[in-house]
């Protein structure tokens, strides 16, 4: 095996990392293995994972049941094309997703990443209105501070000014934006809170194919938690003005907010739903876009009679089998009690940060803890401090946030939050 120094030099010279650059002086830490909630670095250090590998590894790493699901599926096939062929894992997973998601969602389109699931949802909405002889309905309406992915369609509905895609704004499809909701989670949505959204929807209803939102939690756009009542009124307005509602639950799905899906906080259902990240328990990439039967059959019965999308690795059997095992693990567990316990420990553990001058706000919802600072973070200097403290936390912009695996023990979570408090105190 190559030395740690050699690994780092080769990585820096040849490898691109997310939101980074080749041959840039950003800290990167080679990983030897990961088990449970522990990341084992090549240099021998161990870190408690506070990120679930960006929301996805809800059962931790190297879970024996998920490992077995991968091994068993490998004996049959790791992949087969989905054009003209099908297989049991895809059928079973589609049935499982239809069963656990809000009732009107009856059809499942498998994709290979969250960004692609959003692209699929947008194309479904536009093609649906084309079949209804309303081709002018091709724009999307959303709120600022949102994030829906890094591909071109997904970028076009992410925040155009304050998001990470402003460089590409002139090349993207032009969508409609209103201010993000100011009413916080747990608060009612006033007439004033919803007025701009309602007026924009009313004015442009003939051009709007769909509204797209991250329900309750705006993720990479600021980790903001907004009112369930706002989301409920958005659903009512979409119905009133004959506009589809797309909900992006890629980050919030599968229990992270304390509900199986975040839209359940508002007791509403979308017309199209995007899922990803935790779908396979973080084992491999898989995503899904669910739609109502009305949308699916309208596309079937219109021109050209097929939905114009088809990823090469769509419904990968290995990923589908692992997703089934991951969902069974989750649904057979007392996940609500687990997430409620994590929520309480995050609130208790991060609460001291409220007294620090660098901190603007501390907020917690389900298994999500957020520390918002007054000033932007220098990740080059801050990341090593978390590693030195024995935890893996990946801050960005003005945010230090936690989304630990659901299997984290109380002691591990207390160690994690204590390390964060110490680092933040010394900012």
Which residues carry out catalysis?
Answer: 19, 147, 248, 277
| 391-392 and 46-49 strand pairing | parallel
> What CA–CA distance (Å, rounded) separates 177 from 307?
27
> What CA–CA distance (Å, rounded) separates 137 from 116?
21
User: Sign of dihedral through CA atoms 19, 123, 146, 160?
Assistant: positive
Structure token pair of residue 375: 């000033």
| CA-wise closest residue to 179 among 224, 229, 210 | 224
- Tell me whether residue 288 is exposed, middle or buried, using C-beta atoms within 10 angstroms of its C-beta: 0 to 12, 13 to 18, 19 or more: buried
Residue 264 CB partners (closer than 8 Å, separation 6+): 102
Residues linked to residue 373 through DSSP beta bridges, in sequence order: 359
Angle between helices 410-425 and 379-388 (to 10 degrees): 140
- Tell me whether residue 260 is exposed, middle or buried, using C-beta atoms within 10 angstroms of its C-beta: 0 to 12, 13 to 18, 19 or more: buried
Contact 56, 281 (CB under 8 A): yes
Tokens 């194309």 -> residue? 123
User: Sign of dihedral through CA atoms 197, 199, 202, 207?
Assistant: negative
């Amino acid at each position: 095996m190559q030395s740690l120094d050699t690994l780092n030099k080769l990585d820096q010279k040849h490898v691109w990392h997310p939101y980074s650059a080749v041959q840039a002086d950003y800290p990167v830490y080679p990983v030897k293995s990961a088990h449970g909630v522990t990341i084992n670095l090549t240099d021998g250090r161990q870190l408690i994972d506070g990120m679930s590998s960006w929301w996805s590894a809800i059962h931790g790493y190297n879970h024996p049941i998920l490992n077995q699901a991968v091994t068993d599926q490998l004996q049959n096939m790791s992949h087969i094309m989905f054009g003209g062929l099908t297989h049991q894992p895809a059928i079973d997973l589609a049935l499982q997703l239809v069963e656990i998601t809000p009732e009107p969602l009856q059809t499942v389109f498998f994709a290979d990443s969250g960004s692609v699931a959003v692209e699929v949802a947008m194309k479904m909405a536009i093609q649906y209105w084309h079949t209804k002889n309303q081709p002018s309905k091709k724009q999307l309406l959303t709120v600022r501070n949102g994030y829906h992915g890094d591909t071109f369609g997904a970028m076009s509905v992410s925040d155009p000014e304050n998001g990470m895609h402003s460089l590409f704004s002139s090349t993207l499809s032009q969508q409609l934006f209103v201010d993000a909701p100011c009413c916080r989670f747990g608060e009612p949505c006033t007439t004033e809170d919803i007025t701009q959204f309602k007026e924009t929807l009313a004015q442009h209803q003939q051009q709007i194919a769909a509204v797209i939102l991250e329900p309750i939690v705006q993720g990479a756009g600021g980790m903001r938690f907004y009112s369930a009542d706002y989301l409920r009124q958005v659903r009512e307005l979409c119905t009133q003005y004959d506009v589809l509602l797309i909900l992006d639950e890629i980050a919030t799905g599968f229990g992270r907010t304390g509900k199986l899906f975040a839209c359940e906080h508002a007791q509403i259902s979308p017309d199209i739903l995007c899922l990803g990240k935790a779908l396979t328990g973080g084992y491999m990439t898989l995503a899904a876009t669910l739609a109502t039967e009305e949308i699916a059959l309208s596309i079937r019965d219109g021109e050209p009679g097929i939905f114009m999308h088809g990823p090469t690795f769509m419904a990968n059997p290995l990923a589908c089998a692992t997703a089934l095992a991951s969902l069974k693990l989750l649904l057979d567990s007392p996940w609500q009690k687990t997430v409620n316990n994590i929520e309480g420990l995050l609130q208790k553990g991060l609460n001291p940060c409220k007294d620090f001058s660098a901190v603007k706000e501390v907020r917690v919802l389900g298994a999500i803890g957020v520390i918002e600072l007054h000033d932007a973070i220098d990740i080059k200097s801050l990341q090593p401090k978390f590693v030195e403290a024995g935890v893996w936390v990946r801050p960005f912009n003005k945010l230090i946030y936690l989304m630990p695996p659901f299997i984290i023990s109380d002691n591990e979570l207390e160690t994690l939050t204590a390390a964060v408090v110490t680092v933040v105190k010394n900012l």
